[in-house]
Amino acid sequence: MENTTSPNKAILVLEDGTVFEGYAAGKIGTTEGEIAFNTGMYGYQEIFTDPSYYGQILVMATAHIGNYGVHDQEVESEGLKIAGLVTKKFSEIYSRVGGNGTLQEYLERDGIVGICDIDSRSLVRHIREKGAMNAVISSDNLNAEALKELVKKVPSMEGLELSSKVTSSKRYVVKAENESCKVALLDLGVKTNIVRCLNDRGCTVEVFPSDTSAEEILSTNPEGIMFSNGPGDPSAMKNVVEQVGKLVDSGTPCFGICLGHQVIALSQGLSTVKMFNGHRGVNHPVKNLISGKAEITSQNHGFVVSRESADANDNIEVTHIHLNDETLAGIRVINKPVFSVQYHPEASAGPHDSRYLFDDFVAAIKEHVMN
Amino acid sequence: MPRDKSIRSVLIIGSGPIVIGQACEFDYAGSQASRSLREEGIEVTLINSNPATIMTDPVVADNVYLLPLEPESIEDILKKHNIDAVLPTMGGQTALNLAIKCDEMGLWEEFGVKMIGVDIAAIDITENREAFRNLMEQIDVPMAPQATAKSFLEGKEIAQRFGFPLCIRPSYTLGGSGAAIVHDREQYEKLLTRGLHASPIHEVMIDKALMGWKEYELELLRDANDNVTIICSIENFDPMGIHTGDSITVAPAMTLSDTVFQRMRDMAIKMMRSIGDFAGGCNVQFAVSPDAAEDIIAIEINPRVSRSSALASKATGYPIAKVAAKLAIGYHLDELKNQITRTTSAMFEPTLDYVIVKIPRWNFDKFKGADRELGLQMKSVGEVMGIGRSFQEALQKACQSLEINRNGLGADGKELRDQEQILNSLEHPSWNRLFHIYDAIRLGIPFKKIQEKTKIDFWFLKQIEDLIKLERKIEKHTLSSIPKEMLFEAKQKGYADRQIAHLLGCLESEAHAKRTELGIKRVYKLVDTCAAEFEAKTPYYYSTFEEENESVSSDKKKIVVLGSGPNRIGQGIEFDYSCVHGVLAAKECGYETIMINCNPETVSTDFDTADKLYFEPVFWEHIYDIIQHEKPVGVIVQLGGQTALKLAEKLDRYGIKVLGTSYEALDLAEDRGSFSSLLRECNIPYPEFGVVESAEQATELSKDLGFPLLVRPSYVLGGQRMKIVINEDDLETTVVDILRDMPDNKILLDHFLDGAIEAEADAICDGEDTYIIGVMQHIEPAGIHSGDSFAVLPPYNLGDLVLQQIEEYTKTIAVKLRTKGLLNIQFAIKDDKVYVIEANPRASRTVPFIAKAYGEPYVNYAAKVMLGEKKVKDFKFNPKRNGYAVKIPVFSYSKFPNVNKELGPEMKSTGEAIRFIKDLKDPFFRKIYSERNLYLSR
């Protein structure tokens, strides 16, 4: 399989002019975006359908992708969200009795362009050294010089607002089987599994588009408010941050994940910065400073809340830190039932160590309702 | 919490002699743990009866006790040292069992010793199947339906309830002996009766056999704060039904979705937390149903480091034993650094951007009459690991590492073409099933049928089919017409130059030259635990064919040490001991050291043994490419057994310096003709011999030499195919047999000195001076391979005259061969006359034994002599000579119930133990001496 039957060549050009040659995967065409790598070894379908990856050309560091095909149940949104795929071995066949097709068919269906059979390790090392940058993949134009011109025109991720591109266009409700509370969810690019994790805990979830006003959300009398993950630069989301600030002030229990965490932080006067290299993978160690326990987490972010700004703010307690680089991984607003984490407790893909945060959220809701 | 300061002195229990199922992975684990504890300023005391290990070397531990693994030995140690804690998790089930025994006797309590790394409750529950089952039920972890039967009737009822296939395991028998898979009623009734009889308590466990279910293993670490991480996931290529130690395994898991993996991860963590409250390592095995339900069933959990955790350490770079030892003394995972990056946290889950394939190494040829079909009981004696940037590359590299005279998987003219034989092999797997899968696909046997018979996952089989598709394309070309892209693809998929040469019909050197000319070069990548996310500080490399080379060659003066490849009978852990010492000695002399080996169980492949580790097949092409890249001053071949030694000729031919004894001298000793001329010249007696190429010639020659005769192919290892014959009929059959299996091989006939006494000497020589490090006398009479005999150091009843001759001959031969390094000579003594049987100018199996018995670093000295850094006279030898040291051969016959315990000139033991005795009145010595003829075969 692989390059013996897919003779189409493809080319990857980075913003700094570096060129990698390989073979085409997915749709034949040209695509652009910011290049980032993910080190997870399983869960490619969940990753590719995660709206937080919107606009990103994703390098999968693991050697093989596609081996177990795709499965209707393992999606984090309606379709593929990555801008392009870069990998080493791309399997055009798959092995899974309950599977629903090959990854190739899936990429073609959603028109995603990819490249395989490149020295992806050297590419990851390159990005590690040089930092995040834009890139172009093409399998219909192998002219490196032309692509170098094209990549110059790709807008920088910094200052880019992308949530509005992936948020739901209208409000909708996902009912819990054994409803015990009502949660409003501000969809900044939500992963399905966040809703599922809430549903599993008896929370009926009403999902709101990212441009919904705080007043509109509060008018539905939610018992808890969830701020979802999503793509882009949080500092470019002035309006959302303003609404989030009002929602936090309302005293309703709030829980933020990833971009949701960042907008809570911004609403409290903290700042965010673009990371040299983001955290993307399913093996990130986080320490819970309250319990003293460590957890292995799923992460996907290129921006982070500044640790200094959190330490300097008297209203904020740092609750979680990343153990590899001691960046901020979680905060709590003092004297308010509001907390958030930079990583993904809903996992999918990734370990389930941090699911307790949803329990904490539900507990906070129950406590708030009681009072 | 930082480390427990009350622990200042720790006892580590080793795993004893190497047997099938418990091999040198525990030497690796014990050595790592010991170093890890000493880093913390803890005094380490070590007990192991296995002298061939690195862990029992003074470079590893503070106090080493080479004593039998019995409570009495432990008691002696506890009386002598103030031990605070015992770490029993590094020595396999042997160490856990000994720890339990001592616990039952109240030893730990009496001496105030705390058990760390595991607790008694955890060991108990994982060994008691019934209790374990109940516990799993409580925590909601499914297991295969299982029940115990104490009678035939009960057994039959259970079968009716569960349906076939079933596993029957007699209770309280060792190492899975008597266990069987049963497919039908008739067979079941027979095996049920047998099983009940085999059990000392007349009881069998019956479980539903999950044949064809996918099999996985997870390696876990847990700290005292209950933090858990999964270090590695391993997928078995061979589905359920074959012991995981006998299965080809792959990491990371190749066909596992995140949903299934995370469910498995959750179960594993829950299981580890449920079995006890301890900080350390754990191995959990699972089966997954090969259908849309993807049900997960737990098979077992081992609360200790294991063969798989050694593999996982080498596969990921994460040193499990080292970290497990730190956790045992109180550290939390988040307080430790990742040993590879040294900047990020040890609390994480390694991620791989390459694939590893482990293939077991079997030695069925040593056990005539053994049931060669793989099943519930482990039968392999060693293993190899291949690392590549794809499954296919790793698979080919693992096949190249096996040393079974293949050049990889296929494309070497050794395919089997008999359909019936192939189909039978697919269904009844033995050591060669992988090769027969390849043959089946190549022969055009329908894919569905192969899948049906093997139950191996479709994805894996497709990978092999894809290789064959590529071969068919290559075969259409010649050396001059093959396009660069196709050649590059073949190299990326792991094909050796030799395989490509076979497909193109050219020479290996031509294929190598062609790809070099086309710029297709090996590059080296790091094993770094993190898929390149962070910079790694440890120099652990594997090769592949890609763009970037991460291995920067320094301009320091450096040497390469060739490892000994997979463990097998005749070439085991002793050689790894020697390789490690060679590396350490060269470091002391200021060389940059480069280790090449492919055996994941070893200390030599630990990332901090050599300055640079290339985890690569000890296969010409790989070695040559590394040498081209690194440009060392020379290569040490004397330490890695025959594997390394047999590469000397080619190294010499390519103008690469063989350090120490020259290739000519190595060849001279190996070549019977010229070696005998040398002996004749020096007036040294040797048994009359001759070389033949046919049965006729053999009969003819036998008239001159006279029976009994020792018959063997030339250039063999561990006495392979060696036989003593007493008449012409026997001789003819033996010669015909050898020539059938090893055509073109010359056959040596030696007059066999019946009833002679055997002895051997090991020496270090610098070309001028020779120092005899030890002479050992065998207890059994001549005819039993030296590796299988009890032997005593120093000799116990050889006359002064005989000893004088032995010493004189050793010195003469050493100098005549211009030996630079180690030399081992085997002698036969009859009527006070000493005959030289053979000379091996390399580290022998006995060198580590003598070094341990006398307490001197002989391999270190010898390596310095090889490097030309020292002369023999530069060393002050001061051996500790108290009483005698007895070498005890250890066999794994229990794994092969149909094989007679019969010894002969072909080696069969898998390991050895050492025992010190004060004098010859010792009852142990008297017993073995009186039984010296017991197992002699003809």
Over the stretch B852-899, which tens digit does the pLDDT of each residue have? 999 999 999 999 999 999 999 999 999 998 899 999 999 988 788 778
Label each residue of B179-206 as H, E or C: CEEECCHHHHHHHHHHHHHHCCCCCEEE
Residue B172: which domain range?
A: 145-208
Clarify whether residues B41 and B83 are in a common domain.
yes
Q: Among A2, A296, A325, whose Cβ lies nearest the Cβ of B349? A: A296
User: In angstroms, rounded to a whole number, what is the distance separating the alpha carbons of residues B906 and B155?
Assistant: 42
Q: Does A275 touch chain B (CB under 8 A)?
A: no
Whether B761 maps to a domain, the answer reads: yes
Task: Report which of B350, B301, B300 is spatially closest to residue B323, judged by C-alpha positions.
Answer: B350
Whether B79 maps to a domain, the answer reads: yes
Q: Among B222, B228, B257, B455, which would you mutate to test the A interface (most chain A Cβ atoms within 10 Å of its Cβ)?
A: B257
Are B351 and A61 within 8 A, CB to CB? Answer: yes
Does residue A46 contact residue B258 with C-beta atoms inside 8 Å?
Answer: yes
**Catalytically annotated residues of A:** 258, 344, 346
Are B252 and A62 within 8 A, CB to CB? Answer: yes
Clarify whether residues B855 and B730 are in a common domain.
no
Taking the CA atoms of residue B659, residue B662, residue B665 and residue B666 in that order, the dihedral angle to the nearest 10 degrees is 50
- pLDDT at position B685 is 96
Q: What amino acid occupies position A247?
A: L
The CATH number assigned to the domain holding B478 equals 1.10.1030.10
Structure tokens at B717: 């290892």
The CATH number assigned to the domain holding A125 equals 3.50.30.20
- pLDDT at position A4 is 43
Share of chain B above pLDDT 90, in %: 80
Helices marked H in A219-258 — which ranges? 238-249
Clarify whether residues A325 and A200 are in a common domain.
yes
Residue B742 has pLDDT above 90, yes or no: no
Whether B855 maps to a domain, the answer reads: yes
Contacting residues of A for B333, CB less than 8 Å apart: 294
- pLDDT at position B264 is 98
Clarify whether residues B725 and B626 are in a common domain.
no
Q: Does A312 touch chain B (CB under 8 A)?
A: no
Does residue A225 contact residue A362 with C-beta atoms inside 8 Å?
Answer: no
User: In angstroms, rounded to a whole number, what is the distance separating the alpha carbons of residues A364 and A251?
Assistant: 11
Clarify whether residues B746 and B761 are in a common domain.
no
Structure tokens at B45: 């005391």
pLDDT band at B715, cuts 50/70/90?
low
User: In angstroms, rounded to a whole number, what is the distance separating the alpha carbons of residues B697 and B114?
Assistant: 68
| Cis, peptide link before residue B897, omega less than 30° from 0 | no
For CA atoms B480, B482, B483, B487, the dihedral sign is: negative
Residue B563 DSSP SS3:
coil
Point out the domain boundary residue: A128, A152, A176: A152
Clarify whether residues A167 and A103 are in a common domain.
no
Across B138-147, B363-372, B509-518, B785-794, least confident range? B363-372
- pLDDT at position B173 is 66
Task: Report which of B65, B52, B67, B913 is spatially closest to residue B567, judged by C-alpha positions.
Answer: B52
User: In angstroms, rounded to a whole number, what is the distance separating the alpha carbons of residues B791 and B625?
Assistant: 42
User: In angstroms, rounded to a whole number, what is the distance separating the alpha carbons of residues B863 and B869?
Assistant: 9
Q: What amino acid occupies position B654?
A: Y
- pLDDT at position A281 is 96
Does residue B487 contact residue B515 with C-beta atoms inside 8 Å?
Answer: yes
Structural domain total, chain A: 2
Clarify whether residues A350 and A286 are in a common domain.
yes
Residue B499 has pLDDT above 80, yes or no: yes
User: In angstroms, rounded to a whole number, what is the distance separating the alpha carbons of residues B694 and B746?
Assistant: 9
Buried b (16+ CB within 10 A) or exposed e, B591-613: bbbbbbbbbbbbbbbbbebbbbb
Share of chain B above pLDDT 70, in %: 98
Whether A241 maps to a domain, the answer reads: yes
- Strands B709-713 and B723-725, by their bridges, are antiparallel
Does residue B925 contact residue B886 with C-beta atoms inside 8 Å?
Answer: yes
Clarify whether residues A24 and A141 are in a common domain.
yes
Residue of A nearest to B228 (CA): A295
Are A42 and B353 within 8 A, CB to CB? Answer: no
Structural domain total, chain B: 7
User: In angstroms, rounded to a whole number, what is the distance separating the alpha carbons of residues B247 and B375?
Assistant: 10
Average pLDDT along chain A: 96
For range B583-605, the mean pLDDT:
97
Are B531 and A61 within 8 A, CB to CB? Answer: yes
Give the H/E segment covering residue A308.
Answer: helix A307-311
Q: Does B350 touch chain A (CB under 8 A)?
A: yes
Residue B586 has pLDDT above 60, yes or no: yes
**B104-152 confidence digits (pLDDT tens):** 999 999 999 999 999 999 988 988 878 899 999 999 999 999 888 999 9
For range B618-629, the mean pLDDT:
97
Taking the CA atoms of residue B252, residue B253, residue B255 and residue B259 in that order, the dihedral angle to the nearest 10 degrees is -110
Task: Report which of B725, B662, B666, B667 is spatially closest to residue B698, judged by C-alpha positions.
Answer: B725
For range B179-190, the mean pLDDT:
87
Contacting residues of B for A20, CB less than 8 Å apart: 547
Clarify whether residues B79 and B166 are in a common domain.
no
The CATH number assigned to the domain holding B538 equals 3.40.50.20
Contacting residues of A for B534, CB less than 8 Å apart: 128, 324
Average pLDDT along chain B: 93
- pLDDT at position B721 is 81
Whether A128 maps to a domain, the answer reads: yes
Whether A297 maps to a domain, the answer reads: yes
Q: Does A196 touch chain B (CB under 8 A)?
A: no
Label each residue of A75-135 as H, E or C: CCCCCCCCCEEECCEECCCCCCCCCCCCHHHHHHHCCCEEEECCCHHHHHHHHHHHCCEEE
Helices marked H in B276-341 — which ranges? 307-316, 320-328
Clarify whether residues A125 and A237 are in a common domain.
no
Residue of A nearest to B233 (CA): A41
Point out the domain boundary residue: B208, B237, B254: B208
Residue of B nearest to A283 (CA): B349
Q: Does B525 touch chain A (CB under 8 A)?
A: yes
pLDDT band at B716, cuts 50/70/90?
low
Whether B311 maps to a domain, the answer reads: yes
For range A226-255, the mean pLDDT:
97
Are A294 and B332 within 8 A, CB to CB? Answer: yes
Point out the domain boundary residue: B208, B228, B253: B208
pLDDT band at A5, cuts 50/70/90?
very low
- pLDDT at position B681 is 95
Clarify whether residues A16 and A102 are in a common domain.
yes
Taking the CA atoms of residue B134, residue B140, residue B143 and residue B145 in that order, the dihedral angle to the nearest 10 degrees is 70
Q: Does B471 touch chain A (CB under 8 A)?
A: no
User: In angstroms, rounded to a whole number, what is the distance separating the alpha carbons of residues A360 and A25?
Assistant: 42
Task: Kindly write down the DSSP assignment for every residue of B248-261, as one continuous string.
Answer: -EEES-SS--HHHH
Q: Does B397 touch chain A (CB under 8 A)?
A: no
CB proximity under 8 Å: A 6-35 to B: 20
Residue A185: which domain range?
A: 163-370
Whether B124 maps to a domain, the answer reads: no
Clarify whether residues A34 and A128 are in a common domain.
yes
- pLDDT at position A6 is 46
Clarify whether residues B231 and B346 are in a common domain.
yes
User: In angstroms, rounded to a whole number, what is the distance separating the alpha carbons of residues A341 and B692?
Assistant: 79
Clarify whether residues A137 and A195 are in a common domain.
no
Whether B715 maps to a domain, the answer reads: yes
Query: Whole-prediction pTM value?
Result: 0.96
For CA atoms B405, B410, B416, B422, the dihedral sign is: positive
Share of chain A above pLDDT 90, in %: 97
Taking the CA of residue A353 and the nearest CA in chain B, the distance in Å comes to 9
- pLDDT at position B717 is 62
User: In angstroms, rounded to a whole number, what is the distance separating the alpha carbons of residues B141 and B389?
Assistant: 35
CB proximity under 8 Å: B 620-639 to A: none
**A163-195 confidence digits (pLDDT tens):** 999 999 999 999 999 999 999 999 999 999 999
Point out the domain boundary residue: B492, B520, B548: B520
For CA atoms B261, B263, B264, B270, the dihedral sign is: positive
- pLDDT at position B365 is 86
* Strands laid side by side in the B249-251 sheet: B296-302, B280-288, B214-222, B228-236, B249-251, B355-361, B382-388
Are A4 and B261 within 8 A, CB to CB? Answer: no
Whether A157 maps to a domain, the answer reads: no
Whether B315 maps to a domain, the answer reads: yes
Residue of B nearest to A21 (CA): B547
Are B533 and A39 within 8 A, CB to CB? Answer: yes
CB proximity under 8 Å: A 241-260 to B: none
- pLDDT at position B757 is 94
* Strands laid side by side in the B63-65 sheet: B63-65, B43-47, B9-13, B85-87, B114-115
Does residue A81 contact residue A118 with C-beta atoms inside 8 Å?
Answer: no
- Which residues, at least 6 apart from B393, have a Cβ–Cβ distance to it below 8 Å? B355, B386, B492, B493, B494, B544
The CATH number assigned to the domain holding B715 equals 3.30.1490.20
Contacting residues of A for B290, CB less than 8 Å apart: 97
Q: Does B933 touch chain A (CB under 8 A)?
A: no
Q: Among B292, B343, B470, whose Cβ lies nearest the Cβ of A4? A: B470
Point out the domain boundary residue: A130, A152, A174: A152
Whether B2 maps to a domain, the answer reads: no
pLDDT band at B937, cuts 50/70/90?
low
Clarify whether residues B807 and B695 are in a common domain.
no
Q: What amino acid occupies position B746?
A: K
Clarify whether residues B544 and B558 are in a common domain.
yes
User: In angstroms, rounded to a whole number, what is the distance separating the alpha carbons of residues B337 and A282?
Assistant: 19
Give the H/E segment covering residue A281.
Answer: strand A272-288
- pLDDT at position B367 is 85
**B311-346 confidence digits (pLDDT tens):** 999 999 999 999 999 999 999 999 999 999 999 999
For range B771-775, the mean pLDDT:
97
- pLDDT at position B718 is 65
Whether A190 maps to a domain, the answer reads: yes
Point out the domain boundary residue: A100, A118, A152: A152
Neighbours of A243 (CB within 10 A): 25
Clarify whether residues A147 and A182 are in a common domain.
no
Helices marked H in B201-334 — which ranges? 258-275, 307-316, 320-328
Q: Among A62, A93, A325, whose Cβ lies nearest the Cβ of B531? A: A62
**B29-78 confidence digits (pLDDT tens):** 999 999 999 999 999 999 999 999 999 999 999 999 999 999 999 999 99
Clarify whether residues B627 and B532 are in a common domain.
yes
Clarify whether residues B393 and B476 are in a common domain.
yes
Q: Among A49, A95, A193, A286, which would you mutate to test the B interface (most chain B Cβ atoms within 10 Å of its Cβ)?
A: A95
Clarify whether residues A35 and A100 are in a common domain.
yes
- Which residues, at least 6 apart from A81, have a Cβ–Cβ distance to it below 8 Å? A48, A49, A50, A51, A52, A53, A54, A166, A189, A231
Q: Does A285 touch chain B (CB under 8 A)?
A: yes
Clarify whether residues A193 and A125 are in a common domain.
no
**B250-277 confidence digits (pLDDT tens):** 999 999 999 999 999 999 999 999 999 9
Whether A179 maps to a domain, the answer reads: yes
Task: Report which of B323, B315, B335 is spatially closest to residue B221, judged by C-alpha positions.
Answer: B323
Are B334 and A294 within 8 A, CB to CB? Answer: yes
User: In angstroms, rounded to a whole number, what is the distance separating the alpha carbons of residues B689 and B743?
Assistant: 21
Clarify whether residues B285 and B417 are in a common domain.
no
Contacting residues of A for B230, CB less than 8 Å apart: 296
Clarify whether residues B326 and B423 are in a common domain.
no
The CATH number assigned to the domain holding B917 equals 3.30.470.20
Across B786-795, B813-822, B902-911, least confident range? B902-911
Residue B427 has pLDDT above 60, yes or no: yes
**A90-124 confidence digits (pLDDT tens):** 999 999 999 999 999 999 999 999 999 999 999 99
Q: Among B348, B458, B547, whose Cβ lies nearest the Cβ of A296? A: B348
Q: Among B226, B262, B290, whose Cβ lies nearest the Cβ of A97? A: B290
Across A248-252, B639-643, B671-675, least confident range? B671-675
Clarify whether residues A206 and A226 are in a common domain.
yes
Are A124 and B294 within 8 A, CB to CB? Answer: no
Are B262 and A119 within 8 A, CB to CB? Answer: no
